[in-house]
């Protein structure tokens, strides 16, 4: 494994930045989606898929540190910076705190939001993704690219990890069953199909035309016949039965950036949504908070 990890990007953000630069370098002669660029970056680094590369990035090079090998030493735990008293004094961030890049990506996405149409490419992408029990989170970006490149770009700009955080949708972990002599396992995190659809529903309720029904249509019949369903399956079920406009109340704030000269604006979004934005009047246009409601 040590040889396999040599030369890999230090973080997934670096790999994603490489993919973005690759897209820019190929355009306009060859237009590819960000998910395709990620797969190409994975091949450049000697891996068969982005999911595989992403699972290896940042992983310690010792097999024992991955699994707690009973025949080896326990992995060293990182020592937190600062004294215990300094750590205790750090104020807790509000639950609706998000990074500045998330606010920027979301706001620019709302500005560009428009009607879209599910195409044959969208349906083909859906069929391909539903072949797997767990879908890579980054695939949300590629699926949205089939509707509107600006939607996929918004997810890229905010980061798929942040998308999970602000939407409240949880990823699941899956591990390849180890053989008798194995001392390590290969694992990854991703989204179950209903969770993938729940993200699309959440984005739709923010005013984005994401066509969640185009994704959950192949498996909604199974949900309707099930005796018990989980939260994301229930979200799909309710969405398929909605006869009136849904309620939307979301409030995001950057609690760590010091923003001055803040101006408050109220604008109308798609589908009757109201958007309140508090942002700086300086050239950077830093956003203090974003409230979206109907």
Q: What is the pLDDT along the chain (294 residues), one digit of tens a residue?
A: 433 344 677 677 778 878 887 877 777 677 777 878 888 888 888 787 887 888 787 544 333 333 444 443 444 445 455 545 444 556 788 889 999 999 999 999 999 999 999 999 999 999 999 999 999 998 999 999 999 999 999 999 999 999 999 999 999 998 888 888 888 888 888 999 999 999 999 999 999 999 999 999 999 999 999 999 999 999 999 999 886 667 899 999 999 988 889 999 999 998 889 999 999 998 889 999 999 998
Q: Which helix (H) or strand (E) holds 121?
A: helix 120-129
Distance CA 76, CA 90 (A): 25
**HEC assignment per residue over 146-202:** CCCHHHHHHHHHHCHHHHHHHHCCCCEEEECCCCCCCCCCCEEEEECHHHHHHHHHH
Domain ranges of the chain: 1-63, 97-176+186-245, 250-293
**CA 225 from chain center: how many Å?**
30
How open is the CA angle 60-171-239, to the nearest 5 degrees? 165
- Report the relative pairing of strands 262-268 and 249-253 from DSSP bridges: unpaired
Tell me, what's the pLDDT at 274?
96
pTM above 0.85, yes or no: no
User: Is the Cα dihedral 159, 162, 163, 169 positive or negative?
Assistant: positive
């Amino acid at each position: 494994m040590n040889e396999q990890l040599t030369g890999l990007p230090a973080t997934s953000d670096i790999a994603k930045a490489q993919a973005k630069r690759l897209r820019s370098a190929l355009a306009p002669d060859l237009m590819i989606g960000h998910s395709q660029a990620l797969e190409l970056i994975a091949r450049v680094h000697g891996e068969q898929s982005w999911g595989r590369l992403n699972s290896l990035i940042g992983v310690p090079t010792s097999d024992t540190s991955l699994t707690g090998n009973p025949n080896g030493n326990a992995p060293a735990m990182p020592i937190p910076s600062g004294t215990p008293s300094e750590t205790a004094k750090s104020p807790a961030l509000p639950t609706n705190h998000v990074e500045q890049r998330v606010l920027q990506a979301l706001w620019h996405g709302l500005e560009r939001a428009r009607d879209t149409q599910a195409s044959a490419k969208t349906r083909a992408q859906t069929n391909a993704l539903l072949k797997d029990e767990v879908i890579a989170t980054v695939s949300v970006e590629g699926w949205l690219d089939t509707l509107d490149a600006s939607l996929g770009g918004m997810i890229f700009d905010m980061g798929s990890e942040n998308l999970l955080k602000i939407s409240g949708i949880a990823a699941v972990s899956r591990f390849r069953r180890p053989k008798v002599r194995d001392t390590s396992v290969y694992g990854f995190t991703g989204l179950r199909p209903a969770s993938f659809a729940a993200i699309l529903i959440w984005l739709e309720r923010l005013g984005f035309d994401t066509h969640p029904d185009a994704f959950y249509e192949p498996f909604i019949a199974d949900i309707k016949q099930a005796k018990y369903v989980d939260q994301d399956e229930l979200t799909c079920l309710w969405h398929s039965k909605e006869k009136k406009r849904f309620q939307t109340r979301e409030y995001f704030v950057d609690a760590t950036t010091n923003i001055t000269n803040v101006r408050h604006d109220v604008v109308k979004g798609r589908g009757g949504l109201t958007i309140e934005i508090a942002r700086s009047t300086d050239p950077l246009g830093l956003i203090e908070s974003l409230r979206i409601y109907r």
